[in-house]
A and B are shown apart, each in its own frame.
Chain A
Amino acid sequence: DADVTQTPRNRITKTGKRIMLECSQTKGHDRMYWYRQDPGLGLRLIYYSFDVKDINKGEISDGYSVSRQAQAKFSLSLESAIPNQTALYFCATSDSGQGNSPLHFGNGTRLTVT
């Protein structure tokens, strides 16, 4: 979905390095999410934000942090990367609603930690 842009598309980094993944959206949605995808595990929620002043942990937040710089921007940081954080990372957005609004995903960032 071109309305949700993730940068970079691919990143290779070394163990112990700090890395930031960025997400921006033009959909005007309040809610933003970070997921990671691993083969055989589906998507797991890392962090989510319902507005600029709201940050919440997901099911696998350890080792990650986020920043909601504006309604349109939501970045994910790995403070000290480790190999088991090698995965495909997705940013997603949704509008506020009754919980039945679908998510809109970016094209993902493939992160490799060596």
Chain B
Amino acid sequence: AQSVAQPEDQVNVAEGNPLTVKCTYSVSGNPYLFWYVQYPNRGLQFLLKYITGDNLVKGSYGFEAEFNKSQTSFHLKKPSALVSDSALYFCAVRDQTGANNLFFGTGTRLTVIP
């Protein structure tokens, strides 16, 4: 069975500091991994994905994520946080067989403090 854990409901970081939003996953076989961001009163927006290859994936708005197979993690990172990064972030996973649909984590609310 697929599952995604986002262990932190809330992450606070000062503007200009690096940020990390954590995600661990469980899937049979190799995963496709995604990060989405949700701003107030909006739908989710795709940030980046991991399919295969380089473990460091770069995405929109300066975000990147590091795939770690041994730790089954896919943490979202940004070197320098902006106040405008404050939003709800979702990690999602599906197995590469295509037999299952995308499975979302419960979300992490990021607040960047000016």
Binding site for B on A (CB under 8 A): 1, 4, 33, 40-45, 48, 58, 90, 92, 98-100, 102-108
Contacts and interface: CB of A to CB of B under 8 A. Distances in A.
B48 to A, nearest CB: 9
Contacts of B34: 102
Given A42-B105, A48-B101, A99-B96, 17 more contacts: A1-B45, A40-B9, A40-B106, A41-B106, A42-B90, A42-B107, A45-B101, A90-B43, A90-B44, A92-B43, A92-B44, A103-B46, A104-B46, A105-B43, A105-B44, A108-B41, A108-B42
B40 to A, nearest CB: 11
Interface in B35-70: 36, 41-46, 49, 51
Contacts of A44: 104
Contacts of A48: 101
Size bin of chain B's contact surface:
20 to 34
Contacts of B36: 103
A103 B44 CA distance: 9
Contacts of B43: 1, 4, 90, 92, 105-108
Nearest to A99: B98
18 contacts: A42-B104, A42-B105, A43-B44, A43-B104, A45-B101, A48-B101, A90-B44, A92-B43, A92-B44, A100-B32, A100-B49, A102-B46, A103-B36, A103-B44, A105-B44, A105-B45, A106-B43, A108-B41
Given A41-B106, A100-B32, A102-B34, A58 B101 contact: yes
Nearest to A90: B43
When A and B form their complex, which 8 residue pairs have the shortest distance between CB atoms, in order from nearest? A105-B43, A102-B46, A42-B106, A99-B98, A43-B104, A42-B104, A100-B32, A105-B44
A52 to B, nearest CB: 19
Contacts of A98: 96, 98
B96 to A, nearest CB: 7
B90 A100 contact: no
A111 to B, nearest CB: 14
